[in-house]
């Protein structure tokens, strides 16, 4: 597969086969994380791999109440979805209710002392805080896709970081940034993900001024 094919078809996988994933395959995907950029090349990311069913069940029990609150907020129109496809919510609900059956959970950890957030003095949510973390995470998702493994990224468990840290014996100075589920998908990967066109997200010189997108708009 070429790079564009991988990028354009790395979807959120919410339906998995029971077939186990080998440690070698997990290692191949995590190895890609090492090559993500980070501020000062401080490389603050680490991972805890969970395959034990009892542990996964405990994590599912922690996930479900937040999922139920979230789905209720979607129903009440309090949370906006970027897609009108009602199927997403049903798939995500299936995902939540079968979470522990997914072969691999990867908890993404971050050494906060090595994340140099440059926007904490602004009167808004810090975005830069995650900038040295999520490029590595995306590398894992892309590498997994390239060898046929499905993944889903979720941050709901960060609500219960203290409980997750206790369960997984994560040291005091390490935080949790996300969880990735991983396994062999039951469905085919999409040919191309549904996303906003380039003309809606890229501007020339000043925000809002149309960018010449050339042939890419025809794709």
Ligand X SMILES: Cc1cc2nc3c(=O)[nH]c(=O)nc-3n(C[C@H](O)[C@H](O)[C@H](O)COP(=O)(O)O)c2cc1C
| Burial call 107-130: b when 16+ CB within 10 Å, e when fewer | bbbbbeebbbeeeeeeeeeeeebb
Per-residue tokens: 67:
């999922």
138 binds ligand X (CB under 6 A): no
11 binds ligand X (CB under 6 A): yes
Quote the CA–CA distance of 122 and 59 in Å, as a whole number: 34
Backbone dihedral angles phi then psi of residue 62, each to the nearest 5 degrees:
-75, -30
Task: Look at strands 104-111 and 45-50 and give their pairing.
Answer: antiparallel
Contacts of 130 (CB under 8 A, 6+ apart): 115, 177
Quote the CA–CA distance of 121 and 64 in Å, as a whole number: 34
Q: Which stretch binds ligand X (CB under 6 A): 7-15, 32-40, 46-54, 118-126?
A: 7-15
Of 29, 146, 151, 154, the one binding ligand X (CB under 6 A) is 154
142 binds ligand X (CB under 6 A): no
How many residues of this chain interact with ligand X, rule: CB under 6 A? Answer: 13
Q: Which stretch binds ligand X (CB under 6 A): 27-35, 54-62, 122-130, 150-158?
A: 150-158
144 binds ligand X (CB under 6 A): no
Of 71, 156, 158, 174, the one binding ligand X (CB under 6 A) is 156
Contact in structure between 137 and 219 (CB atoms under 8 Å): no
Write down the least CB distance from residue 85 to ligand X, Å. Answer: 9
95 binds ligand X (CB under 6 A): yes
Of 6, 49, 142, 153, the one binding ligand X (CB under 6 A) is 153
Looking only at residues 186 through 205 of this chain, which bind ligand X when binding is defined by CB under 6 A? 193-194
- Indicate the length of the chain as a whole number: 219
Looking only at residues 28 through 67 of this chain, which bind ligand X when binding is defined by CB under 6 A? none
12 binds ligand X (CB under 6 A): yes
Q: What is the DSSP string of 35-71?
A: TS--GGG---EEEEEE--HHHHHHHHHHHHHHHHHHH
Nearer to ligand X, 60 or 171 (CB): 60
Write down the least CB distance from residue 10 to ligand X, Å. Answer: 7
Contact residues: ligand X, CB under 6 A: 11-12, 14, 88, 92, 95, 152-156, 193-194
């Amino acid at each position: 597969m070429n790079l564009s094919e991988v990028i354009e078809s790395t979807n959120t996988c919410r339906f998995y086969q029971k077939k186990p994933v080998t440690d070698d395959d997990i290692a191949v995907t995590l190895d890609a994380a090492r090559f993500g950029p980070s501020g000062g090349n401080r490389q603050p990311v680490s991972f805890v791999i969970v395959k034990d069913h009892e542990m996964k069940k405990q994590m599912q029990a922690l996930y479900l109440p937040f999922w139920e609150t979230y789905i209720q907020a979607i129903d009440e129109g309090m949370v906006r979805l970027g897609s009108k496809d009602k199927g997403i919510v049903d798939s995500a609900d299936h995902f939540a209710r079968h979470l522990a059956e997914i072969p691999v959970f990867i908890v993404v950890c971050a050494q906060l002392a090595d994340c140099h957030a440059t926007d904490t003095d602004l009167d808004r949510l810090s975005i830069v805080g995650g900038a040295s973390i999520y490029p590595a995470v995306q590398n894992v998702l892309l590498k997994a896709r390239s060898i046929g493994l499905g993944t889903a990224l979720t941050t709901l468990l960060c609500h219960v970081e203290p409980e997750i840290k206790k369960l997984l014996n994560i040291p005091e100075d390490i935080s949790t940034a996300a969880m990735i589920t991983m396994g062999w998908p039951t469905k085919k990967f999409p040919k191309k993900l549904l996303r906003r066109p380039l003309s809606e997200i890229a501007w020339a010189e000043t925000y809002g001024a149309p960018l010449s997108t050339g042939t890419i708009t025809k794709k």
